[in-house]
Chain A
């Protein structure tokens, strides 16, 4: 090892190498290994406190992050690499009458242009394959891609994209999820209904529960669309080589799913698709499926050169998945002392133009909609509907934060109306050890009450003004 490094001249050693080398040889203060992390498994048995809490750990990759040595996709360059841009529809609902890419193709430096007709299987999606890679016929939201261009520089690709002419025939549009549920509403994926997934959970007898209640509280709660805004935009490099093998570097959290989707859209055997998941500069659920990757692959095939695509911040907002806006109707029957006897919940999720991870979000939201509370009589129903908006998908919590906002807001309303302390009313209803969830699951390691009491003590609940 020592002899080997001696032969390297200083110039030839990259900064990162020098520093790593320096760790051992030059007494660089190394990443501090936590000295007191116990040897015992950090995963606790039910009812045990994990030993990991309170320990300081250092991420193994943070040294390079801090040195600027981590290579994200946009930091990689392949020989002969081209840069791609995607032409967005810019209109929420329309039929494409004509696409003319000739002016874009004529721009010097443009090496390939593709549209929907170039895509072998133009649909993908983690649950339903309802999303096209590039739209050929019906535009369903303004961020839909219509054509993709690869050019020798990013500027030339951007200029060429502007020269693509698309003739649209505007179609009716629906933006409000409640309106989209109506029978007469414009069908975004005609002939299918706009309601594309639903779930109902029933427990006990809500009518009886409401009849026994002293007070009934009703409220509607709504949440807004949220974009993940990872600091690193979606980025990928596709290299379709002369042996018809495809290598894709992508900022995707679900590599196998992406590989399957690529194989499907491109009609390649999976064995010919190599997907390299690089270090991701923030995901938060927004990088859990393919987006531009099949288009980059086909551009690479057409141009015979590797193609990089990096979304602009605008692309991020208009064309990648977001958090579902929810419309949540809660009806809760309680006794005078604040015990919940019955609850009905109706959730309408604004699903945007395509399904993405909506079905997963819907299921989790529906199950968690009654909160960590013992409710004998419950109906929880949830619907996700298409609208002509940016599609909604996975985002941290998969629907849990939205319903939590609703049931906790209503809990505060109930506490206030009944004159009960907000902590107390929660303690009276909260799950304990062995509680049964709305779907019949027996719950263990339940510490809702303990957590609440500890939190109340720590944030000085008793001392509040």
Chain B
């Protein structure tokens, strides 16, 4: 067994796990943070994406032990107690979440992108989300949502003005 001490969503968590335990298993089974999904278990689908020290990673490909002493952000830590993250808000409003299974991973990949590059081009968004598969939406609404969130993070006023222009109505 290996002792792992990791800051998950700002709280220090500890677990003793077998060495082969992945970060995904640690989060889901040891910490009961089931928002991180298992889609393929081989790093193809991105449903298990979490952010480790600012970088989006596939939790199914990272060993729990490798996260010792590091900061992990899961979907459960994206919203604050009283406020949705702008990405969560726009994903919800623009129909970027259908069955929702890819959502947590998609949101965290998008967050890692916006933290690194606050004004990404459509190409950069597509590139950043290339490792996150979705079978419902056809991706268009997801890419639009990330653009909206980027705008919203720049200035909330610009976001509202854009909403008004695009949809001819106040989406608040």
Chain A residue with minimal CB distance to B94?
A56
> How near does chain B come to A9, taking the closest CB pair, in angstroms?
14
Contacting residues, chain A, for B44 (C-beta < 8 A): 313
Say yes or no: is B74 at the interface (Cβ < 8 Å to chain A): yes
> What's the tally of chain B residues with a CB closer than 8 Å to chain A?
49
The answer to whether B76 and A56 touch across the interface, beta carbons within 8 angstroms, is: no
Q: Which residues of B contact A67 (CB under 8 A)?
A: 35, 75-76, 78-79, 84, 88
A315 to chain B, nearest CB (A): 11
| A231–B102 CB distance below 8 A | yes
Inter-chain contact A19/B95, CB cutoff 8 Å: no
Chain A residue, CB-CB nearest to B98: A59
Q: Inside 8 A of B37's CB, which chain A residues have their CB?
A: 72, 74, 231-232, 281
Q: Is the CB of B99 within 8 A of A280?
A: yes
Q: Is the CB of B39 within 8 A of A15?
A: no
- Which of B41, B91, B95, B172 meets A312, CB within 8 Å? B41
Count of A interface residues, CB-CB < 8 Å: 45
- Which of B33, B35, B92, B135 has a CB less than 8 Å from the CB of A229? B135
**Contact, CB under 8 Å: B169 / A15:** no
Closest Cβ of chain A to B31, distance in Å, is 13
Looking at the assembled complex, report how far the CB atom of B24 sits from the nearest CB atom of chain A, in whole angstroms. 11
Contact of B39 among A19, A27, A61, A313 (CB under 8 A): A313
A68 close to B167 (CB less than 8 A):
no
- Is B69 an interface residue when CB atoms closer than 8 A count as contact? no
Tell me which residues across on chain B come within 8 A of A26, comparing CB atoms: 81-82
Assess whether A29 is in contact with B97, with CB atoms less than 8 Å apart. Answer: no
CA distance A230 to B98 in the complex (A): 12
Contact (Cβ within 8 A) A61 B100: yes
Does B16 belong to the interface (CB within 8 Å)? no
A31 contacts across to B, CB distance below 8 A: 92-93
Q: A230-B135, A313-B40 are in contact. Are A56 and B88 (CB under 8 A)?
A: no
Instruction: List A residues at the B interface (Cβ < 8 Å).
Output: 15, 18-19, 22, 26-29, 31-32, 35-36, 56-59, 61-72, 74-75, 228-233, 279-284, 310, 312-313
Sample of 11 more A-B contacts, CB < 8 Å, known A66-B75, A67-B88:
A26-B81, A29-B84, A63-B92, A65-B92, A66-B97, A66-B103, A72-B37, A231-B37, A231-B45, A233-B38, A233-B39
Q: List chain B positions with a Cβ less than 8 A from chain A.
A: 28, 33-42, 44-45, 47, 74-76, 78-79, 81-84, 87-89, 91-95, 97-104, 107, 133-136, 167, 169-172
* Contact sample, A vs B, 26 pairs, CB 8 Å cutoff: A15-B79, A22-B81, A28-B83, A29-B89, A35-B169, A56-B93, A56-B95, A58-B93, A59-B97, A62-B91, A65-B100, A66-B75, A66-B97, A67-B76, A67-B79, A68-B104, A69-B76, A70-B100, A74-B38, A75-B28, A231-B99, A231-B102, A233-B38, A313-B39, A313-B40, A313-B41
